[in-house]
Amino acid sequence: MNFLITGGAGFLGTALANFLVAQGHQVRALDDLSAGDPKSLDPRVLFTRGDVRDIPKLWGLLRGTDCVYHLAARVSVAESVLYPVEYNAVNVGGTVSLMTAVRDAGVKRVILASSGAAYGKQDQQPVREDALMRPDSPYAVSKLSSEYYLHSIGALWKIETVVLRVFNAYGPRQPLPPSHAPVIPRYLKQTMGGGSVVLFDGGKQTRDFVYVGDVVNALAAAATADRVNRTIINVGSGVELSLLQLVEKIEQATGREAHRLINAEESGGVPRLVSAIRLAGELLNWKPHVSLDQGLRQMLIEDERFKK
């Protein structure tokens, strides 16, 4: 098949692009490099630097494309609170621009990587795809808005659309920006370097951590699965883990003791969030295979930043 991946030089995009070309597919990747790095892309991936809102550029890239993975987005909850205009422009505007170009190019299927963050605070756990959405940040609102635009434009123009709500993905070479870094590589770096691991709300809040390879398998399955048009599917581990328990697992994996800095006053976000993954099994024939313990070991083996 011929694929286009927006955000194709990012963490998930790179892993997906490399997987697909290894399977013999033709893959184009588009990225503005605001957060991505094309150096890790397989040479067989045809990389283009550009903005996902550039419709004329999209027209050229979409020629002959069978399926689009829409991964281009700003992805930090905390950053979105500071820069809601940019998050709306890139995440929502980028989705609308892409779907407009897809309509013009006649692409058959578009798969959006959305986020478990869109659920917000939920009383019922694990959260199912039919839960009442309570987005509580500009990032979460932007992802939910993108879902609505994807499905509505898809229905109007008979484009098959699929939404995968990805929970906390992690794995080797996950970016570590100076601010608002993802929790697992941040905690690993701090533990390995003798720094302090900050636990907001005492580290009691729970999350669902899913290994990047498992996410890639779910994305790949969504390209050819039947009965997935207009669906929303959770992609997570289905395992609920507190951040305090995460620190303990990192200590076990590294053999080092983390210096905990407890901040009980500041909120750590929603108190609980874990995915119900039954639908992914039914529609994608998918389930996660890599446990957190295994995933942390892989990061320590493959990622030069965490070498002992």
pLDDT tens track, the chain, 308 positions: 999 999 999 999 999 999 999 999 999 999 999 999 999 999 999 999 999 999 999 999 999 999 999 999 999 999 999 999 999 999 999 999 999 999 999 999 999 999 999 999 999 999 999 999 999 999 999 999 999 999 999 999 999 999 999 999 999 999 998 888 999 999 999 999 999 999 998 899 999 999 999 999 999 999 999 999 999 999 999 999 999 999 999 999 999 999 999 987 777 889 999 999 999 999 999 999 999 999 999 999 998 888 75
Catalytic residue numbers read 139
User: Do 100 and 131 share a structural domain?
Assistant: yes
Which residues span the domain enclosing 187?
183-206+240-272+293-306
Cβ partners under 8 Å of residue 297, min gap 6: 253
pTM score above 0.85: yes
User: Do 190 and 229 share a structural domain?
Assistant: no
Read off the tokens for 101.
């170009």
User: Do 125 and 253 share a structural domain?
Assistant: no
| 26 belongs to a structural domain | yes
User: Do 120 and 16 share a structural domain?
Assistant: yes
Q: Are 47 and 31 a contacting pair, CB within 8 Å?
A: yes
User: Do 137 and 110 share a structural domain?
Assistant: yes
| 176 belongs to a structural domain | no
User: Do 155 and 34 share a structural domain?
Assistant: yes
How many domains, in total, are found in the chain? 2
CA atoms within 13 A on the CB side of 30: 24
Q: Are 135 and 184 a contacting pair, CB within 8 Å?
A: no
User: Do 52 and 102 share a structural domain?
Assistant: yes
Q: Output the domain CATH number for residue 255.
A: 3.90.25.10
User: Do 263 and 227 share a structural domain?
Assistant: no
User: Do 251 and 229 share a structural domain?
Assistant: no
User: Do 199 and 57 share a structural domain?
Assistant: no
Q: Output the domain CATH number for residue 112.
A: 3.40.50.720
